[in-house]
């Protein structure tokens, strides 16, 4: 979760999330095998980061750990190390819902407005109200995040978002689709669910989850507010550039991602879901996975849990992510095996592939290089001044490199300025994200090109003359004005429908025409082609493509219906007709 609470099911070329499932009766790997997997992903044990994997089956539970709690901290990670678990909290929220339904305190069909103050107007559509079940199954029609979410501190983005702001957004929002009609992952929706259940119970969300879930299961280490002793066992969170980051606070959206926990506590939770222990929550846990609604190709949503099924066997799972942590838990109800993986570094890949692989070795581990520690040096500003200037990443994206005193900065079009740190005379890195820069120079030492390395890709950008930079900025301004005009008119761009149809056919064959893409987009497509081909194969034959409108960023939006599912595609072309961005998600 960058500025969100993780777990979004959104397939797109720029950031695809690939899902898999476990096979029944799978053999869980040995401790040595698990440790090697963790070591390969974490890298050096002295980086300040680590991973813990907990597994459970009929033979009992095991915890394997690799890495450290924090930089220069000699303590080893273990089953009692505390992590933020992010969106795995959502499963607890829906379990509370099942418990309150069983007790007769609420009904799944109750409109959420029933439990909110009288002045709050929850949006409705076609005479239908948003129910508690709609919120739990991610089908309320509410967006992922409210539009009035503007954090004062991006390192702790949810901390200052108030209940009143949530009420204000709900009261002014108009739903864009029918309630219950399709899956759309929403932190707002589940945060609202947790808030409403807490109001109904007359206690805080934390008190509710502890009394209804943690105490009955004996999970003393799962909570929002940590005791001093638990704080001492908290693994320090890191962003993908290995920089320690603050913990997140979610006072309003607690039910969407505020919990902290340990591997041992999460194994206790999985043991209860697998039926290895007797618990008064057994029926509630069964009810939580008693329904299935479509959530994309080969995937369904239950009450919070996601369910992926293949060859008659299913894995029930949820993941999570905050600014400094990524987490995953899943279980196979047939094999009666469960896995939890906790990491104190937030990367794009996360530990999801590790969790799936531990449940079923036929699902491969992602090819992810371990993090690299970048060490800052002091660089003479006269050296850096030879790099200052404007570089062009693609048609509508410029990179401006500048200096302010002894500080060096980079700024991409439409993004804030971020500080760069020197590793040597030619190489720089960011601390806010995992990104590095290499400057090529001429015989006089002046930069001719910068290469941005991020997300496993090298993206070269040629340096522009002042005149060329001025023209490029004018072109970008004209492009922005055209986007605003088309967005207001909701007018379709020529060639985008043909580009979507052609791209789908090429991706299904596994043979894209890279000459019809920008260089940057072609590099992304090459990297993700195998997974995209697999996803589109599951959707089956193309049936229809319908223009739906223009997004605020200028992308043309199409509803694309396949034999086995409905999807939404967004596409943008350059003036010469090349595809510069293309993404899709299941509806």
Could you tell me whether strands 397-404 and 326-332 are parallel, antiparallel, or unpaired per DSSP bridges? unpaired
Burial (Cβ within 10 Å: 0-12, 13-18, ≥19) of residue 147: exposed
The reported pLDDT for the residue numbered 72 is: 85
State the first-to-last Cα distance of the chain, in angstroms, to the nearest integer: 21
The reported pLDDT for the residue numbered 11 is: 33
Residues 324-380 pLDDT 10s: 999 999 999 999 999 999 999 999 889 999 999 999 887 789 888 888 888 999 999
Query: Where are any strands of DSSP class E within 284-379?
Result: 293-294, 299-301, 306-310, 313-321, 326-332, 337-343
Contact 367, 528 (CB under 8 A): no
Least confident stretch, 70-74, 189-193, 294-298, 324-328: 294-298
Indicate if the pLDDT at residue 5 is higher than 80.
no
| C-alpha to C-alpha distance for 219 and 561, rounded to whole angstroms | 45
Contact 53, 358 (CB under 8 A): yes
Q: Within 448-580, where are the H helices?
A: 466-489, 496-509, 519-539
Report the DSSP beta bridge partners of residue 230.
none
Burial (Cβ within 10 Å: 0-12, 13-18, ≥19) of residue 203: middle
Mean pLDDT of all residues in 241-269? 97
| C-alpha to C-alpha distance for 328 and 202, rounded to whole angstroms | 31
Confidence of residue 192 (pLDDT cuts 50, 70, 90): very high
The reported pLDDT for the residue numbered 485 is: 93
The reported pLDDT for the residue numbered 10 is: 34
Confidence of residue 13 (pLDDT cuts 50, 70, 90): very low
Q: What is the 3-state secondary structure (H, E, C) of 332-345?
A: ECCCCEEEEEEECE
Q: Which of 360, 276, 372 is nearest to 317 (CA)?
A: 360
The per-residue b/e assignment along 13-52, b for 16 or more CB within 10 angstroms, e otherwise, is beebbbbbbbbbebebbeeeebbebbbebbbeeebbbbbb
Indicate if the pLDDT at residue 120 is higher than 70.
yes
Q: What are phi and psi of 302, to 5 degrees?
A: -95, -145
Indicate if the pLDDT at residue 169 is higher than 50.
yes
The reported pLDDT for the residue numbered 361 is: 82
> Whole-prediction pTM value?
0.82
The reported pLDDT for the residue numbered 18 is: 24
Instruction: Using DSSP, state whether 52 is helix, strand or coil.
Output: strand
Indicate if the pLDDT at residue 250 is higher than 50.
yes
Domains in the chain, CATH or no CATH each: 31-359 (3.40.710.10), 381-472 (2.40.128.50), 490-586 (3.10.450)
Indicate if the pLDDT at residue 3 is higher than 60.
no
Please give the helix or strand (H or E) that residue 271 lies within, else none: helix 263-273
| C-alpha to C-alpha distance for 408 and 281, rounded to whole angstroms | 56
| C-alpha to C-alpha distance for 464 and 558, rounded to whole angstroms | 36
Confidence of residue 297 (pLDDT cuts 50, 70, 90): confident
- Classify residue 232 by its DSSP letter: H
Indicate if the pLDDT at residue 498 is higher than 60.
yes
Indicate if the pLDDT at residue 554 is higher than 60.
yes
Contact 556, 550 (CB under 8 A): yes
Would you tell me the crossing angle of helices 352-359 and 31-42 to the nearest 10 degrees? 160
Least confident stretch, 12-16, 145-149, 287-291, 384-388: 12-16
The reported pLDDT for the residue numbered 251 is: 98
Indicate if the pLDDT at residue 20 is higher than 60.
no
The reported pLDDT for the residue numbered 267 is: 98
| C-alpha to C-alpha distance for 185 and 9, rounded to whole angstroms | 7
Confidence of residue 2 (pLDDT cuts 50, 70, 90): very low
Indicate if the pLDDT at residue 158 is higher than 50.
yes
The reported pLDDT for the residue numbered 587 is: 63
The reported pLDDT for the residue numbered 311 is: 73
Indicate if the pLDDT at residue 8 is higher than 60.
no
Round the average pLDDT of the chain to a whole number and report it.
91
Percent of the chain having pLDDT more than 70? Answer: 95
| C-alpha to C-alpha distance for 55 and 329, rounded to whole angstroms | 10
Indicate if the pLDDT at residue 144 is higher than 70.
yes
The DSSP annotation for 12-48 comes to BTTS------PPTTPPPPPHHHHHHHHHHHH-STTSS
Q: How far is CA 8 from the centre of its chain?
A: 5
Side-chain-facing half-sphere of 564: CA atoms under 13 Å:
12
| C-alpha to C-alpha distance for 68 and 59, rounded to whole angstroms | 28
Report the DSSP beta bridge partners of residue 403.
408
Contact 426, 439 (CB under 8 A): yes
| C-alpha to C-alpha distance for 147 and 257, rounded to whole angstroms | 19
Burial (Cβ within 10 Å: 0-12, 13-18, ≥19) of residue 232: exposed
Confidence of residue 270 (pLDDT cuts 50, 70, 90): very high
Report the DSSP beta bridge partners of residue 327.
320, 342
- Classify residue 364 by its DSSP letter: P
Structure tokens at 34: 């698990």
| C-alpha to C-alpha distance for 554 and 395, rounded to whole angstroms | 14
Residues 388-408 pLDDT 10s: 999 999 889 999 999 999 999
């Amino acid at each position: 979760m960058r500025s969100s609470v993780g777990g979004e099911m959104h397939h797109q070329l720029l950031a695809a999330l690939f899902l898999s499932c476990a096979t029944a009766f799978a053999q869980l790997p040995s401790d040595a095998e698990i440790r090697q997997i963790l070591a390969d992903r974490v890298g050096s044990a002295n980086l300040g980061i680590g991973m813990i994997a907990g597994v459970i089956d009929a033979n009992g539970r095991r915890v394997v750990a690799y890495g450290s709690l924090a930089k220069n901290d000699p303590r080893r990670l273990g089953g009692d190390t505390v992590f933020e678990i992010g969106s795995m909290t959502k499963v607890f929220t829906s379990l509370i819902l099942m418990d309150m339904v069983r007790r007769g305190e609420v009904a799944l069909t109750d409109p959420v407005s029933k439990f909110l103050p009288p002045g709050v107007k929850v949006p409705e559509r076609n005479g239908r109200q948003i129910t508690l079940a709609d919120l739990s199954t991610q089908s309320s029609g509410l967006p992922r995040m409210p539009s009035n979410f503007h954090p004062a501190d991006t390192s702790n983005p949810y901390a200052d978002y108030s209940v009143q702001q949530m009420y204000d957004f709900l009261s002014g929002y108009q739903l864009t689709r029918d309630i219950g009609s399709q899956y759309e992952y929403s932190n707002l929706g589940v945060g609202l669910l947790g808030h409403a259940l807490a109001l109904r119970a007359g206690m805080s969300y934390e008190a509710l989850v502890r009394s209804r879930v943690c105490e009955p299961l004996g999970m003393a280490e799962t909570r929002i507010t940590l005791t001093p002793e638990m704080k001492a066992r908290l693994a320090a969170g890191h962003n993908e550039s290995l920089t320690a980051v603050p913990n997140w606070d979610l006072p309003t959206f607690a039910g969407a991602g505020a919990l902290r926990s340990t591997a041992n506590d999460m194994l206790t939770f999985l043991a209860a879901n697998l039926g290895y222990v007797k618990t008064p929550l057994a029926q509630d846990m069964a009810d939580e996975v008693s329904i299935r609604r479509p959530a994309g190709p080969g995937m369904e949503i239950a009450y919070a849990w996601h369910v992926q099924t293949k060859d008659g066997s299913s894995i029930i799972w949820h993941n999570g992510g905050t600014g400094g942590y990524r987490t995953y838990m899943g279980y196979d109800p047939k094999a009666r095996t469960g896995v939890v993986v906790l990491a104190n570094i937030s990367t794009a890949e996360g530990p999801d592939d590790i969790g799936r692989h531990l449940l079923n070795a036929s699902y491969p581990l992602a090819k992810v290089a371990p993090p690299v520690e970048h060490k800052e040096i002091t660089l003479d500003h006269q050296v850096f001044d030879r790099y200052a200037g404007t570089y062009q990443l693609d048609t509508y994206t410029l990179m401006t490199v500048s200096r302010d005193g002894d500080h060096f900065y980079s700024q991409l079009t439409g993004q804030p300025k971020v500080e760069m740190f020197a590793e040597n005379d030619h190489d720089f890195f960011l601390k806010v994200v995992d990104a590095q820069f290499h400057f090529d120079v001429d015989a006089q030492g002046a930069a001719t090109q910068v290469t941005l390395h991020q997300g496993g890709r090298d993206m070269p950008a040629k340096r522009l003359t002042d005149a060329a930079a001025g023209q490029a900025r004018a072109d970008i301004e004209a492009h922005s004005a055209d986007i605003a005009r088309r967005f207001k008119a909701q007018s379709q761009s020529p060639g985008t429908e043909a580009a979507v149809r052609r791209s789908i056919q090429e991706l299904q064959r596994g043979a894209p025409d890279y000459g019809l893409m920008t260089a940057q987009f072609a590099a992304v497509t090459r990297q993700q082609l195998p997974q995209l081909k697999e996803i589109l194969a599951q959707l089956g034959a193309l049936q229809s493509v319908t223009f739906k409108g223009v997004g605020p960023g200028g992308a043309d939006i199409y509803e694309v219906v396949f034999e086995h599912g409905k999807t939404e595609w967004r596409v943008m072309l350059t003036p010469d007709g090349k595809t510069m961005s293309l993404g899709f998600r299941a509806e």
